[in-house]
Amino acid sequence: MKFLLIDGNSVLFRAYYATSYGNIMKTSKGVYTNAIYAFANMLNKAIKLIEPDYCAVAFDKGKHTFRHDIAPDYKAGRKETPEELVMQFDLVREMMNAYNIAYREYDSIEADDIIGSLAKKYDMETCILSSDRDMLQLIDDTTSVYVMKKGMSDIAKMDEKALKEEYGLKPYQIIDYKGLAGDKSDNIKGVEGVGDKTAVKLLNDYDTCEGIYEHIDEIKGKLQEKLIRDKDSCFLSKKLATIKTDVDI
């Protein structure tokens, strides 16, 4: 049995920006439809590729989430959503109803957390479609992530082997990586001055953020200074990057 989980906001935003050049598609009444059209194409492609027995879509409901209670500046600095896309939000939900595909959205909970909870809830092969690399932490023996890399056509299936080959990390280390390197798109700060390569090397040496700080005396020079200075930021960033898997759905 296969379960396809779709990160609705991630796919919809990718669909919009992949088709927003030139004369953007719209109806004779001025309703923009480019994102919905591209979303439908991506959905059909995923269903054909994966051949799921079950399918569900998760959406973000509002801008404020429980993560903003932890860090008020979480996702601060993001551009305003284009009005041409905003008017398509409700329409894509109508389209899900027309497809007879269930979708879920909850106050204060992000789509990531809905997907994480559904992925761990059912004991079946689970495929997640998203352009959000945060989802890689959910990979396990029965869960893989289909990452949309470029536009709407380039999709890479990421399992434990592929993740190790491409990123040099294990699934559970994704949140530690974010704790160290941060994530500018979500305004997750990490440890200032620690980049991708340094973060991966530290995790290959010490496994987790906790392991790094347990062996902080072994780390020398400026890197040690940076880690000590931003220890609180490191663990806050790791917490912000951790997807909930216990939402009651």
Encode the chain (249 residues) as per-residue pLDDT tens digits: 999 999 999 999 999 999 998 889 999 999 999 999 999 999 999 999 999 999 999 999 988 999 999 999 999 988 899 999 999 999 999 999 999 999 999 999 999 999 999 999 998 999 999 999 999 999 999 999 999 877 666 789 999 999 999 999 999 999 999 999 999 999 999 999 999 999 999 999 999 999 999 999 999 999 999 999 999 999 999 999 999 999 999
d(CA 244, CA 247): 7
Say how far residue 57 (Cα) sits from the centre of its chain: 14
Site of tokens 């990421």: 158
Angle formed at CA 33 by CA 27 and CA 38, multiple of 5 degrees: 140
- pTM of the entire predicted model: 0.94
d(CA 64, CA 59): 13
